[in-house]
Each structure stands twice: as structure tokens, then as C-alpha cells.
Chain A
Amino acid sequence: MKMLEPGTTIDGFTVGECLHAGGMAHIYRVRYSDETMREPFPMAMKVPRMTGGDGAENIVGFEVERQILPALTGSHVPRFVAAGDLNQLPYIVMEYIQGQTLQHRLDESSEPIAPVEIARLGAAIAQSVHSLHLQNTCHLDLKPANVLMRPDGSAVLLDFGLSCHAHYPDLLAEEMRLAVGSPVWIAPEQVVGVRGDPRSDIFAIGVMLYELGTRELPFGNPQTKGGMRQRLWMDAPPPRKWRPDLPEWLQEVILRCLESEAAKRYPSAAHLAFDLSHPDQIQVTGRGKRTQSTGFWRHFKRWLRAAGMHYEPSPLPSRQIDEVPIVMVAVPHYEVSDATLYSLRQAVSRSLGTRPGAQLACVTVIDSGSTSSSDSANSETAVHRRYLGMLRQWAQPLDLSGRAVSFHVLESGDVAQALLRYAAGNQVSVIVMGAATHGLQMQRLLATVPIKVAMDAPCTVILVKQALPFEQLATSRAA
């Protein structure tokens, strides 16, 4: 395809330098030709290659991106500006975002990346993917070249040419029925033609984390359908086989993302972001400890099973995520009645729902002055250990039946602010807290904590009134 000359004018946009000349599209800087129009943000024009040998795939990819990008919002996607007609000159003008793609990051140096840095990158990517899933969209073509890291550390997702929006007809559903995606990162269910499961994106994040951790590809780069079908039954070699110094928790996370059965992966990207943000809370299983590849017989048995493997088409992505909430409970640690603690537990049980996959984060906020660097009895670790113990004790009677639970001590002078920040940072779906807790002593002042949280929370807040069953018994007897 011919490159556009700088200075060319298209539908009111003046083309600048070419930023990227890829196999699928060319990307140019553009500005409004009309000098009096102020640019709300820097803009780029993407022009798909669709002449000569560039197949029908590019055209459909352009149509899909043209369909989905304008519907997406938030800081994790480039903002849509305008699009050209497919039959005349197809192009999409969108926000140009400063940053470095993960592919650049991988290419610029072959130095091993520190596990904390991998976790940071992974958490940022998972957060961006979660924001997409909440908008009922699955990306389905996540790979290092399509993930842009902003200078502030957050991630932006690019290229929605293979994506799937649950509210729009899927233009790719029929065309290339099988294996729509990039062979290195594609999830097993995509190999057999299932589109629209958010857990396919989790799988792709797993492949990227594997790459970041080991510089190896977990399933190679298969070029045949049979090669791609391998991931229906084959385990990736454990990352620690390539890089023994990789921590077990990171391998646990990566291999959980790469489970061939979607139901064994993280149930939502928020759960993945949560684990990567709290490595110390990850329950390491055999998955994290392995250093040897799965043996022949095990694989053989799985291969037999995979022949009949059948993936269920998924419901609405946002609904699927709703069913696996991250529930955060704020447990007060002083001047708190048994009735309150009991009622909080009841409310938490209800909020976790009946389905597996929900996650509970137990949080307490202590004053930032409670720890001391000189006094060993009040050292940060000692104080935190004390409160973590209290949280564990509180959670003990809960029937978690295998659901993940974690415990967090936050230090802050402002309880409401600390809770809100934690909820926003961890994609919490429900906050459970006492309606009148966090300081009975200073009721007038501190009763505003639940109100403040309820008003500013990014999610549902359940304010729990204390009620002990035996107290009610006593009143009914008195009546």
C-alpha cells in the first residue's frame, strides 16, 4: 500500500509523520487542517492495508474496530475521533497516546525483568482489561504490541480489530470461524471458535507475563491448526524451568492464567490484578512450585479428553464478572461490639454469593501514628502482625468453601479515604462495612466515615446494622 505523503489532507485532517508502518496498518500523526480548531488531545490516524494481497481479514478487522472503538470509554483505550468510509478511504482517527508498547519494552533489552516489575506491569494490564470487560467487550487479540504503557505506569489497550462487543453483532463470528487471533497468545477456546469469553483475555495476559518472566513463549508460535490445538491439552513448561530464580507466587499466577480450561483460570481480570498487587497473599500450590514440564502420560490422558472438549459460549461479559465479585469488608479494630462483628460476618457471607470464584479482602485501617521505628514492640511488622491476627480471627467462622481470602492492614489518618483508595485500586465490587462503626467514641465526627465511603465509593456499599440473634431473642421474650 502506498504511504500517505506528509501534508496530505483527508476529510479535514492533515497527515503528519508516519509513526508506524505495520503489516496490518499504517499509523500517522494528524492534526485538524482548519487551524482555528483546537485539538482536544494529540491525534493519530490508522489506515488499514487492504489492497492487493492484504486479505479480507484486514477489511473485517477495520469494520470491527470502527464499530467497537467509538463505544469504548475510559483511560485504558485511545479516544475515538472520526472514521472514513470503508468504500472510499478507510481510516480511523483516534487519540495519540504517549508511551511504550510492551513489545518495545521486550525488544529494547534482554536483561531479566525483576519479578516486582513484572507484577506491576501485569496488574496494570489486568486493570485495563477489566475496564474493557466491564464494558461488555473482550479484546481477544492481546499481545505485547497491543499494550501501551503510559509514563504513569497505567496500561492502554490498542487494536480492537478482533474484539467482540456483546451488544453488537459479531462481524467475525462467521467469517473466519476458527482460530481468530494471534497464534502465540490465542486461548484454547478461541482455537475452537468460541468468541466473547473474558477469560480468553486472561489467558493472553498469562502468555505475556510468561514472556516477560522467561523471554520464552509458553506454547511457541504454531503455524498450523494442529499446532494451535495443542494448547487444548498441553501445559506450558513451568516458567521456573527457564528461570529458577522466579518466585513461586509469580509462577502460580502465570500458570493459573494459562490453564487450558477457562474455569480454572482467574474468573476475572480484577482477581488477577488483585493477586499481582498483593503477592504476599497468594496461596502457592503445586502449580507454583513445579520446575519440570508435565509428563507424557498426564498429557496423553488430557489429550484424549481434549478430543471431546467443549467450551460453553459465555454470557454477557459484565454479567460473568458480576458473579465473581471482589468483596471488601472493613473490619473495625477498636471499640467495636460483638454484635457488629457478627453482623458484618453475616453480610459478608451473603455478599459472596453462592458461586465459586468470589474473593474476600478483609481490611482494617489503623492510625498512621500507631507504628514506631524505634520501639520494637510497636514496629511496623509487629503492629501489622497483631492486626492481621485480629482479622484472621474475625474471618475464621466464615464458611469460605475454597474462596480466596486475603487480609490487609492499611495505615492512614483518614479511614474513609484509605478504604476508598483501596476499593478503587483493587477493582472491588462491593464494600461491606458497619453503619455506625469506626469510632463509637467520637460518634458525631466519625459516624461520617460510612457516609463518606457510601457517597464516594466506585462500587456498591453495604452498610450493616448490628443485630445479634440472641439480643433479638431477649427482646422478644421481654415483649
Chain B
Amino acid sequence: MMEGTAVPIMKLALLSDIHANLRALDACVAHASRSGATRFALLGDLVGYGPQPALVVRRIREMAGAGAIVLKGNHDEMAVSPPATAQALGEIGAAWTNAQLTPADLAYLDGLPLTNTQGAVHLVHASADSPHRWHYVTNEQQAAASMDAACEDPAVRYVFGGHVHEQTLYFMTATHKLMRFVPTPGVPIPLPGSRRWLATVGSVGQPRDGNPQAMYAMFDLARAELTFHRVPYDHFAVATDLRATGLPEFFAKRMEEGR
């Protein structure tokens, strides 16, 4: 922004809820790399629902080796120890996912941390308010709980998470109230560090808002700008892959419709 001064440019790509969807992950990683990402953060739920858990875990382990931050999500936890009697769809999927993964993969998922703090940025899969309880952040009150917990570290200004599969931005007003804002994809939003911000970055592998395009967000630390992205990819191919797995038809149908 300021000409002539050499600000180290750092762009953090925020990818969450990949859900064993390698095509969506590849599309987002390629998009982020083209947009100048210098570091990747995978905010949990690497597996569950999707057709390619083993390939996705392998790819993410490679990324971690190259410096990516990787967090654990509730589906990763469920894949490690699937419930004995599956009831919900996610639980049926968890047993299948568990069977696809090697003991080394499962140990990797089991060992993932729940949170990560990089200076002013706090990363968590669900809510920073007891991360292991996987609280959903869907409104101002829940966002405030997460932000308050994260900001016990006074350096923290930004809380980024996933879990809810939607792209939303919350910001703290001067009167300490939280406001909710629905972003327009592709528009960089300035997030001045004079305030505190919380964003849910959406889901890479399983959007549920009727638009099958993959979601992720990019945080430009030098400019303090957050951009939410939607990335088109061949989601029909993922539905085909899902049908080949023998998982319930619902999974494939949902993938086709983005619901």
C-alpha cells in the first residue's frame, strides 16, 4: 500500500471442513497459490462425508510437512474412534472413514492440536470457548463467547474458524457488542487491528448453502484484509466417487446440490 517500503507480504489461506473431498481441496489450494498464499492453515474436519479420506489425509500431511498449520475437528475425532452403534449419517460415515485410513493416518489425526495462535491470529475448528466441545458459532452471542475466550491472550485480534459451513464475519463495536456481517465473495474486507474480528471461513468440501462451489478465505496480514472466496470445481465427479463407495445415496445427492 505504501510505495517504496518493503513490507513482508504474508497471506494466510484459511481452509476448513475439507471433508475428504480431494478435488475441492486441490481447487482451493490452487486458487490460493495463484492468489499469492504464503502459508496454509487447515482448520479441522479433514475427513468425514467425503469419498477420499486417505488421499486427503496424505495430501494434508504433505502440506503440514511444508509448513501448513493443521487443526483437529469433530469429524477427525469421530473417525479416530467411531461410535459403536451408528445412528446419525455422520456416524455411519465415520465407521467407513475409519476403515479407509491406515493406523498411521489415524494416529496423525488423533495427535492434531485443537487450536493454534500466530501473533494476532487465533485459529480453532469450532469455538475458542472450550474447543473440544465443538460449539457452533452461528450468532453474535456464540461468536462473543468464542472471541472472549480467544482474546484472553491480549495480542489476539482475529479469530478464524470453520465448523458451521458458512462464511460470516463478526466484529466488535466500541460498545463491546458483536455485529454479524455476511460477506460478498471476492471482495477484500479491511479488518483494522484496532478492533477484534471473528470469521467462519466456510467449508472447502461440503458447502450447504445451495451453491456447490468450494469455500475458503484468505487473510492478508500485511494489509489486514480478509477475502472470502468461492471456487468452482467438478463437484459432480465427487458425487460419482461417493456413489462408488457404497455410502448412502444421500451423501452423493447432497454433493450435487451443495446442501
CA distance A137 to B196 in the complex (A): 24
CA distance A11 to B3 in the complex (A): 11
Known: A70-B190, A169-B179, A169-B189. A59 touches B1 (CB 8 A): no
Contact with B along A57-100 (1 / 0, CB 8 A): 00110010011001000000000011101110000000000000
Is the beta-carbon distance between A67 and B192 smaller than 8 angstroms?
yes
Is the beta-carbon distance between B193 and A174 smaller than 8 angstroms?
no
Contact for B194 among A11, A86, A168, CB less than 8 A? A86
Asked if B59 is at the interface (CB within 8 A of a chain A CB), the reply is: no
Q: Interface residue tally of chain B, by bracket?
A: 20 to 34
Contact with A along B169-188 (1 / 0, CB 8 A): 10101110101010110010
Asked if A173 is at the interface (CB within 8 A of a chain B CB), the reply is: yes
CA distance A70 to B189 in the complex (A): 11
Q: In the complex, which residues of chain B have a beta carbon less than 8 angstroms from the beta carbon of A66? A: 190, 192
Known: A59-B174, A169-B179, A169-B181. A12 touches B2 (CB 8 A): yes
Asked if B195 is at the interface (CB within 8 A of a chain A CB), the reply is: yes
Q: In the complex, which residues of chain A have a beta carbon less than 8 angstroms from the beta carbon of B175? A: 174-175
Asked if A444 is at the interface (CB within 8 A of a chain B CB), the reply is: no
Chain A min CB distance to B183 (Å): 8
Asked if A116 is at the interface (CB within 8 A of a chain B CB), the reply is: no
Within 8 A of B (CB), among A21-61: 32, 34, 37, 56, 59-60
Q: In the complex, which residues of chain B have a beta carbon less than 8 angstroms from the beta carbon of A175? A: 173-175
CA distance A60 to B4 in the complex (A): 29
CA distance A169 to B196 in the complex (A): 13
CA distance A173 to B181 in the complex (A): 11
Instruction: State the main secondary structure of chain B at its contact with A.
Output: loop
Chain A min CB distance to B67 (Å): 28
Q: In the complex, which residues of chain B have a beta carbon less than 8 angstroms from the beta carbon of A59? A: 174, 194
CA distance A179 to B189 in the complex (A): 26
CA distance A167 to B195 in the complex (A): 18
Chain B min CB distance to A39 (Å): 10
CA distance A141 to B169 in the complex (A): 26
Within 8 A of B (CB), among A155-185: 167-171, 173-175
Asked if B102 is at the interface (CB within 8 A of a chain A CB), the reply is: no
Is the beta-carbon distance between A167 and B173 smaller than 8 angstroms?
no
Q: In the complex, which residues of chain B have a beta carbon less than 8 angstroms from the beta carbon of A83? A: 1
Contact with B along A5-20 (1 / 0, CB 8 A): 0000001100000000
Is the beta-carbon distance between A167 and B174 smaller than 8 angstroms?
no
Is the beta-carbon distance between A173 and B174 smaller than 8 angstroms?
no
Q: In the complex, which residues of chain B have a beta carbon less than 8 angstroms from the beta carbon of A167? A: 183-184, 187, 189
Is the beta-carbon distance between A174 and B173 smaller than 8 angstroms?
yes
Asked if B5 is at the interface (CB within 8 A of a chain A CB), the reply is: yes
Known: A60-B174, A63-B195. A173 touches B179 (CB 8 A): yes
CA distance A173 to B193 in the complex (A): 19
Is the beta-carbon distance between A87 and B173 smaller than 8 angstroms?
no
Q: In the complex, which residues of chain B have a beta carbon less than 8 angstroms from the beta carbon of A63? A: 192, 194-195
Kindly report which residue of chain A lies nearest to residue B197, judged by CB atoms: A169
CA distance A59 to B195 in the complex (A): 11
- Assuming A34-B4, A70-B190, A167-B184, what are 17 further A-B pairs, CB within 8 angstroms? A12-B2, A12-B4, A37-B4, A56-B174, A60-B174, A63-B195, A70-B1, A167-B189, A169-B171, A169-B181, A169-B189, A170-B179, A171-B171, A171-B195, A174-B175, A174-B179, A175-B175
- Sample of 18 A–B contacts (CB below 8 Å): A11-B2, A11-B5, A56-B174, A59-B174, A59-B194, A66-B190, A82-B1, A82-B2, A87-B193, A167-B183, A167-B187, A168-B190, A171-B171, A173-B179, A174-B173, A174-B175, A174-B177, A175-B174
